[in-house]
């Protein structure tokens, strides 16, 4: 596989702190660069006790400052929460600090609940309905700005930071194709429309100054350990965390448990909901994960694979991404 990348949700584990989570993220990013990962993205989420990347551009700056060559970016910035000018300034600053290494992935979801959305936006008239216009405005700020109106992003104007559109529905696939932008599908938590979205994106793609041919990336959960049994045990942390989301009670990342205990901790309905969200997960020993990823890539023909995992123990987390890199280099 030519390119493989990481989406890090900066998990805050049970009993841990945001500072610890961010330190673990920087440690993982430094190792990931040596292991050959192409990109390292963090995602904007708010009011989530178990995710430490709310101030996404700040986290990107920290990770970029601790690495040397790997591309660092957002997977993604939830544009309806911000004015395009502010994002242009933030990512223009990042581009000025780390030239040629910054990606700007954009989503149109709030990344939180409705009450927090109101606190973020103040005015809910700025909704996802404005997303296409906001993307165009942001592109303009990163290009020439609006000199006719005396408005420019400084830093930002002329940065031409690569923009990606990210999503889990058909809307962003259609918009990415129309604007000629690379597209990333969030199959790690919303897998249902994966194949339809990729097909629409490729069939309707229009070349642009940024991109001549369609470029599609898919994100999936991947947990690798020396044995299938250990990988399944590590997965129980994310299974519990996902069940908490289904219950509407997000929390810090739980410790792993024996696989048999999941049936006691989750109802049958919750287990089914978690399994559905993780239907494309590759979990197991290197040979098991290799076979799983090969099948996924054969079905999707994705140009790039982005992997993510919520693993409680840092050493196990590092080991998982190291083994995954070995598998992906062979894919």
pLDDT tens, residue order, the chain (331 aa)? 889 999 999 999 999 999 999 999 999 999 999 999 999 999 999 999 999 999 999 999 999 999 999 999 999 999 988 999 999 999 999 999 999 999 999 998 765 666 766 766 656 555 667 899 999 999 999 998 887 778 999 999 999 899 999 999 999 999 999 999 999 999 999 999 999 999 999 999 999 999 999 999 999 999 999 999 999 999 999 999 999 999 999 999 999 999 999 989 999 999 999 999 999 999 999 999 999 999 999 999 999 999 999 999 999 999 999 999 999 998 8
Compute the distance between CA of residue 237 and CA of residue 151 in angstroms, rounded to an integer: 47
Residue with tokens 């660069």: 33
This prediction's pTM: 0.95
What are the contacts of 325-330 at 24+ separation with CB within 8 A?
325/4, 325/32, 325/35, 325/36, 325/37, 326/286, 327/224, 327/286, 327/289, 327/290, 327/293, 328/1, 328/4, 328/293, 329/1, 329/4, 329/36, 330/290
- The H-or-E segment that residue 135 falls in is helix 131-142
Q: Is 139 helix (H, G, I), strand (E, B) or coil?
A: helix
The pLDDT of residue 164 is: 98
Tokens of 320: 């998982």
Q: Is residue 272 reached through a cis peptide bond, with omega within 30 degrees of 0 on the bond before it?
A: no
The pLDDT of residue 282 is: 98
Q: Which fold has domain 4-222+281-330?
A: TIM Barrel (3.20.20)
The pLDDT of residue 92 is: 97
Cα of 275 vs its chain's centroid, Å: 20
Tokens of 196: 């339809």
Compute the distance between CA of residue 136 and CA of residue 240 in angstroms, rounded to an integer: 39
Tokens of 173: 């696939």
Tell me how far apart the terminal alpha carbons of the chain are, to the nearest angstrom: 5
On whether the CB atoms of residues 214 and 190 are closer than 8 A, the answer is no
The pLDDT of residue 111 is: 55
């Amino acid at each position: 596989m030519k390119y493989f990348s990481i989406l890090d949700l900066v998990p805050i584990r049970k009993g841990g702190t945001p500072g610890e989570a961010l330190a673990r993220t920087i440690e993982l990013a430094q190792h990931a660069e040596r292991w050959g990962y192409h990109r390292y993205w963090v995602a904007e989420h708010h009011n989530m006790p178990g995710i430490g990347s709310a101030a996404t551009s700040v986290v990107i700056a920290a990770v970029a400052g601790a690495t040397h060559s790997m591309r660092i970016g957002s997977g993604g910035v939830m544009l309806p929460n911000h004015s395009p000018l502010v994002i242009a300034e933030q990512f223009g600053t990042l581009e000025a600090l780390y030239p040629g290494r910054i990606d700007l992935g954009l989503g149109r979801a709030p990344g939180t609940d409705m009450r927090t959305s109101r606190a973020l936006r103040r005015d809910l008239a700025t909704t996802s309905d404005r997303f296409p216009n906001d993307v165009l405005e942001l592109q303009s700020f990163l290009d020439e700005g609006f000199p006719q109106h005396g408005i420019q992003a400084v830093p930002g104007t002329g940065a031409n930071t690569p923009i990606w559109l990210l999503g889990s529905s058909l809307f962003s696939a259609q918009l990415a194709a129309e604007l000629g932008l690379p597209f990333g599908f969030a199959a790690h938590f919303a897998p249902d429309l994966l194949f339809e979205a990729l097909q629409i994106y490729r069939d309707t793609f229009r070349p642009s100054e940024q991109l001549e041919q369609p470029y599609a990336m898919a994100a999936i959960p991947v947990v690798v350990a020396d044995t299938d049994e250990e990988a399944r045990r590590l997965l129980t942390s994310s299974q519990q965390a996902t069940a908490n989301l289904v219950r509407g009670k997000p929390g810090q990342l739980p410790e792993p448990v024996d696989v048999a205990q999941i049936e006691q901790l989750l109802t049958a309905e919750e287990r089914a909901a978690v399994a559905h969200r993780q239907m494309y997960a590759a979990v197991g020993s290197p040979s098991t994960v290799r076979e799983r990823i090969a099948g996924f890539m054969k079905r999707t023909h994705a140009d790039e694979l982005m992997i993510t995992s919520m693993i409680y123990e840092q050493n196990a987390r590092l080991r998982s991404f190291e083994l995954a890199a070995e598998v992906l280099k062979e894919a």
